[in-house]
Amino acid sequence: MCTLAIDIGGTKVALGLVENGRITERCQFPTPKATSALQFAQQILSHCETWIPYISAVGVSTTGLVSEQGITAINPDTLAFPAPFPLADALKTLTHKPVAMLNDAQAAAWFEYKNLKSPLKNMAFITVSTGVGGGIIINGQLHKGAAGLAGHIGHTSVDMHGPDCGCGQRGCVEVIASGTAIKRASDDVFNPPISNIELFAIAKEEPVADQIIETSAHAIATLCCNLKASLDLEVIVLGGGVGLAAGYIERVRKHIANKPSVFQVSILPAKGDYDACLLGAAFQIKESLWH
Ligand code: BMX
Ligand code: ZN
């Protein structure tokens, strides 16, 4: 069975043709502006027209809160979805295939959980990318909560006097640690502006660059210890463009090692690497068809 996997992030959309858990075709493009759900779906499908005859289902992982009604932004600064945004329905109408949709980090969490080397019961996945997303596994089950919000750990505050977050709160992990936050801090000091990739590349020789990345890693480490305290997780898996950037996990581990031992938790890189959310998109549709 071939699945069309769609991963919608705040910066890019990735598409994959997935067969037996392997990505056989892949493409990506900048996230289109979210106008109407039907238009958005049409734009996405225009990038993979030749794959459509081979697919039997569509799996979507997307940034935002996913409910029966569609997608809602928690932080519209990362991607503003006009409400309601019934993307699954639009994709169903256009492809005539079964469609299942999950939040991007929840989908990756479930995929990563099912691919852990040693079986555990309690785990979280954190993506540090355009935003900071999360997915939580409790007692071997993906925990979505009453309305699907569970795992939006990027919007837990680690500094009540911190900067305003697009979600309406202050000092959220996302507004301090995300790729967007790193870029904002970097633009304040580097003229001409540099990309986050360049920032990571110069961090060894440039203390200002190093400090910006440290601030992000420290906030993520604090989040990990908060999660350990609230959920007693056995492991936390890190993903996303920033989360998987060279040296980032080591920085997070170093900050965790400085916290009281009871709150320390092991950190692993995502097995699905940069495609954890895309593989999660394919994985969850397969599961939803079986159950
Ligand atoms: C935001 C939120 C989450 C998402 C996370 C990571 C929106 C639109 N998104 O916290 O739902 O999981 O970003 O998203 O409110 P990404 O764009 O970085 O992949
Ligand atoms: Zn927030």
CATH of the domain at 229: 3.30.420.40
The burial class, CB within 10 Å (0-12 / 13-18 / 19+), for 94 is middle
| pLDDT given at position 193 | 98
CA distance 243 to 127: 6
Closest ligand (CA of 71): 1
Would residue 234 count as lying in a domain?
yes
Q: Please answer whether residues 2 and 19 qualify as being in contact, where contact means their C-beta atoms are separated by less than 8 angstroms.
A: yes
Would residue 205 count as lying in a domain?
yes
The protein residue with its alpha carbon nearest to ligand 1, atom 13, reads: 131
Q: Are residues 123 and 48 in the same domain?
A: no
231 Cβ contact partners less than 8 Å away, ≥ 6 residues apart:
122, 124, 136, 138
The protein residue with its alpha carbon nearest to ligand 1, atom 12, reads: 133
| Residue 261 tokens, joined | 């031992």
Q: Are residues 212 and 98 in the same domain?
A: no
Q: Are residues 266 and 279 in the same domain?
A: no
| pLDDT given at position 286 | 80
CA distance 248 to 238: 10
pLDDT along the chain (291 residues), means of 10: 95 97 96 94 97 96 96 96 94 97 98 95 98 98 97 98 98 98 98 98 97 98 98 98 98 98 98 96 85 63
The protein residue with its alpha carbon nearest to ligand 1, atom 5, reads: 133
Q: Report CA(62)–ligand 1 centroid distance (Å).
A: 8
pTM as predicted: 0.97
Q: Are residues 74 and 168 in the same domain?
A: no
Q: Report CA(170)–ligand 2 centroid distance (Å).
A: 7
- Tokens 């060279």 found at: 246
Q: Are residues 15 and 156 in the same domain?
A: no
Domain count, the chain: 2
Would residue 229 count as lying in a domain?
yes
Q: Which domain holds residue 122?
A: 116-270
Q: Are residues 66 and 122 in the same domain?
A: no
Q: Kindly list the protein residues whose Cβ atom lies closer than 6 A to any atom of ligand 1.
A: 9-10, 63-65, 73-75, 78-79, 103-105, 127, 129-133, 152, 154, 174
Q: Are residues 102 and 127 in the same domain?
A: no
Q: Please answer whether residues 227 and 196 qualify as being in contact, where contact means their C-beta atoms are separated by less than 8 angstroms.
A: no
| Residue 195 tokens, joined | 């990309």
Q: Are residues 95 and 129 in the same domain?
A: no
Sign of CA dihedral 103, 237, 111, 15: positive
Q: Are residues 47 and 150 in the same domain?
A: no
| pLDDT given at position 100 | 96
Q: Report CA(161)–ligand 2 centroid distance (Å).
A: 13
Q: Are residues 239 and 152 in the same domain?
A: yes
